[in-house]
């Protein structure tokens, strides 16, 4: 028997991690739990019954696939609400249960598409209304407001805060969102890509506009381009391009000495090490500026006087390197391919990546090192027709 013909029946979704499964499940638990708790304050008989089944389906989208266009706030709130209105309206004019259900769901789908608010649980909301004539008679069109609109809005708000707390982005990114530098420029890794109109055309051409947002498509294309760049750079590793003659500071180095090293060497970053050479963090010039600004606001001074005070070597209790250094910056090993460093440096997240071996820093890869390596790889790659 040729089992290849049955591949269409196999799971289509990629393997996920237990951590992500737990994150999504806990989100739904918290969302529905809070919604039910808040509903209990309404003066409605049996308020718990107003947690209707479609809210469970909405929770799947909001917490499991928050980057889907189907899960966005407009789609969820408007989609569920207009579907409730459709179900109620049909219920008032059609008495046959089977026809009422079919017509309610059909009208709901058409309305969601026209309003750009497609949300699959909306079909279930319309069906609940069509199958519950007593509920419709009791609440009328208020059913679309509460519980449908109110509870969906509660779930969306919880999804926003929960996603941010767990490292996900919701609502999804938009093509014209500001960059990490709070400017209107596109992220560096996406500036050579397609514009918004072209990306929208691709989504429409392949009928994927309900599955993927324009910004996420741009990010996927950029990631693919970086993979191509990785193939061109070949097996070049961090060890081959890193700077080895390092200028470092220890945890107790006063910021006055740190500033002097920045001025003397023209570096933008300085690794921080322990007495035994163990790497513990890095200081960027921006860290000095941020600390000076905090001091200026706290002391009611200007930025320049605050900076002068911060780096004054004559202070009796100088601020030390360990107090402003970052410990969350990315790190590399000697064998890390430079392709893995490309996205880290290209989006402006960091200016340099330390190379660590046995807990100690053996080198550092800067943007200058990376640009030189890419230029060298480009000069030595075969010409493309």
Residues 168/172/178/182 CA torsion (nearest 10 deg): -20
Q: Do 160 and 171 form a contact (C-beta atoms < 8 A)? A: yes
Please tell me the predicted confidence (pLDDT) of residue 23: 95
* 377 or 293: which leads in pLDDT: 293
Structure tokens of 347? 């989006």
The residue-averaged pLDDT of 30-47 equals 77
Question: Which of 173-177, 212-216, 374-378 is least confident?
Answer: 173-177
On the question of pLDDT at 234 being above 60, the answer is yes
The residue-averaged pLDDT of 63-75 equals 93
Burial class of residue 251 in the structure, from the number of CB atoms within 10 Å of its CB (0-12 exposed, 13-18 middle, 19+ buried): middle
* 200 or 265: which leads in pLDDT: 265
Give me the CATH topology for the region 238-378.
Answer: CBS-domain (3.10.580)
On the question of pLDDT at 380 being above 60, the answer is no
Q: Is residue 79 very low, low, confident or very high in pLDDT (cuts 50, 70, 90)?
A: very high
Please tell me the predicted confidence (pLDDT) of residue 29: 96
Beta strands at 249-250 and 269-273: parallel, antiparallel or unpaired: parallel
Please tell me the predicted confidence (pLDDT) of residue 191: 54
The residue-averaged pLDDT of 11-32 equals 90
Q: How far apart are CA 252 and CA 269, in angstroms?
A: 17
On the question of pLDDT at 286 being above 50, the answer is yes
The number of CA neighbours under 13 Å toward the Cβ of 70 is 17
Please tell me the predicted confidence (pLDDT) of residue 138: 82
Q: How far apart are CA 188 and CA 346, in angstroms?
A: 6
Question: Tens digit of pLDDT for each residue in 124-180?
Answer: 999 999 998 888 888 888 899 888 999 999 999 999 999 999 988 899 766 555 555
Furthest-apart CA atoms within the chain: distance in Å: 89
Please tell me the predicted confidence (pLDDT) of residue 47: 43
Please tell me the predicted confidence (pLDDT) of residue 147: 86
The residue-averaged pLDDT of 264-275 equals 90
% of the chain exceeding 90 in pLDDT: 44
The residue-averaged pLDDT of 69-76 equals 94
CA 43 to chain centre: 39
On the question of pLDDT at 300 being above 60, the answer is yes
Q: How far apart are CA 109 and CA 366, in angstroms?
A: 53
Structure tokens of 174? 């938009």
Q: Do 350 and 372 form a contact (C-beta atoms < 8 A)? A: no
Closest CA to 353 of 116, 121, 339: 339
Please tell me the predicted confidence (pLDDT) of residue 384: 46
Q: Is residue 287 very low, low, confident or very high in pLDDT (cuts 50, 70, 90)?
A: very high
On the question of pLDDT at 97 being above 50, the answer is yes
Q: How far apart are CA 365 and CA 240, in angstroms?
A: 10
Please tell me the predicted confidence (pLDDT) of residue 48: 41
Please tell me the predicted confidence (pLDDT) of residue 296: 92
Q: Which are the contacts of 1, defined by CB distance < 8 A and separation ≥ 6?
A: none
Q: Please give the angle made by the CA atoms of 343, 232 and 366, to the nearest 5 degrees.
A: 40
How high is the mean pLDDT of the chain? 84
Q: How far apart are CA 47 and CA 45, in angstroms?
A: 6
Please tell me the predicted confidence (pLDDT) of residue 336: 87
% of the chain exceeding 70 in pLDDT: 83
In the chain, what are the domain boundaries? 15-165, 189-224, 238-378
Highest mean pLDDT among 56-60, 141-145, 188-192, 323-327: 56-60
Q: Do 77 and 149 form a contact (C-beta atoms < 8 A)? A: yes
Q: How far apart are CA 88 and CA 148, in angstroms?
A: 12
* 123 or 189: which leads in pLDDT: 123
Stated pTM of the model: 0.66
């Amino acid at each position: 028997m040729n089992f290849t013909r049955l591949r269409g029946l196999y799971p289509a979704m990629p393997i996920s991690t237990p951590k992500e499964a737990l994150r999504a499940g806990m989100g739904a638990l918290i969302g529905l739990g809070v919604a039910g708790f808040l509903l209990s304050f309404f003066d409605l008989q049996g308020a718990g019954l107003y947690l209707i089944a479609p809210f469970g389906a909405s929770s799947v989208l909001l917490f499991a696939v928050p980057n889907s266009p189907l899960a966005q706030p407009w789609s969820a709130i408007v989609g569920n609400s207009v579907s409730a209105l459709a179900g109620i309206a049909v219920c008032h004019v059609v008495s046959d249960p089977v026809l009422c259900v079919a017509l309610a769901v059909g009208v709901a789908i058409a309305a969601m598409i026209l309003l750009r608010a497609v949300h699959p649980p909306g079909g279930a909301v319309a069906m609940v209304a069509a199958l519950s004539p007593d509920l419709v008679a009791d609440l009328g069109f208020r059913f679309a407001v509460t519980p449908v609109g109110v509870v969906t809005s509660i779930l969306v708000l919880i999804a926003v805060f929960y996603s941010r707390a767990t490292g996900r982005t919701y609502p999804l990114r938009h093509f014209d969102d500001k960059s990490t530098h709070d400017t209107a420029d596109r992220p560096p890794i996406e500036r050579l890509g397609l514009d918004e109109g072209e990306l929208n055309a691709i989504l429409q051409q392949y009928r994927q506009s309900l599955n993927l947002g324009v910004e996420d498509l741009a990010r996927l294309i950029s990631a693919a381009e970086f993979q191509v760049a990785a193939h061109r750079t070949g097996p070049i590793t961090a060890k081959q391009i890193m700077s080895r003659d390092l200028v470092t500071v220890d945890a107790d180095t006063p910021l006055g000495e740190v500033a002097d090293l920045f001025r003397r060497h023209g570096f933008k970053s300085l690794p921080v090490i322990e007495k035994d050479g163990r790497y513990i963090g890095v200081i960027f010039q921006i860290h000095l500026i941020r600390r000076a600004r905090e001091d200026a606001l706290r002391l009611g001074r200007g930025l320049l006087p605050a900076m002068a005070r911060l780096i004054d070597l004559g202070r009796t209790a100088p601020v030390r390197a360990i107090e402003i250094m970052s410990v969350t910056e990315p790190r590399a090993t000697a064998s890390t391919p430079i392709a893995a460093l490309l996205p880290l440096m290209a989006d402006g997240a960091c200016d340099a990546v330390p190379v660590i071996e046995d807990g100690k820093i053996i080198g550092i890869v800067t943007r200058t090192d990376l640009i030189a390596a890419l230029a060298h790889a480009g000069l030595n790659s075969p010409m493309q027709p």
